[in-house]
Amino acid sequence: MPAKKDEPTQTTRPALEPVTDPYNVPVSVVNDIGPYGQADGIGNLVLTTFRFLSGQPKAKLDPVVCARLRFSMAMAVQLHTALGHIIEAAGKEATARKNAN
């Protein structure tokens, strides 16, 4: 069933195996990417979020680390594929909204 006009849509891939969350890992808001690279086939990626520092004429954005990821190149390919699907779906939804107006 298609989503109603104001209802958000989701792009998901069901897990191949059941995924549990026994530690109730919190959701992190990610605003930017910090340092990244690879060494000996192991990817490293730092994700950051912004702290807003007030007390200045303009609020200053203070990026802080919210996650450090280390992964194999196979996982990097999976991440690349997943993000590609998410971006493609979001583009299609934006185009559909634009054409509906």
Predicted TM-score (pTM) of the model is 0.72
Determine the pLDDT at residue 58: 73
Dig out the tokens for 17 from the structure.
Answer: 């195996």
Question: Splitting the chain (101 residues) into consecutive groups of 10 residues, what average pLDDT does each group show?
Answer: 53 74 93 96 96 73 93 96 92 88 78
Determine the pLDDT at residue 60: 76
Determine the pLDDT at residue 38: 97
> Which ranges in the chain belong to alpha helices (H)?
73-100
Question: Are 42 and 71 contacting, i.e. CB atoms less than 8 angstroms apart?
Answer: yes
Determine the pLDDT at residue 45: 98
Collect all residues with Cβ–Cβ distance below 8 Å to 1 and sequence separation of at least 6: none
Dig out the tokens for 35 from the structure.
Answer: 């340092």
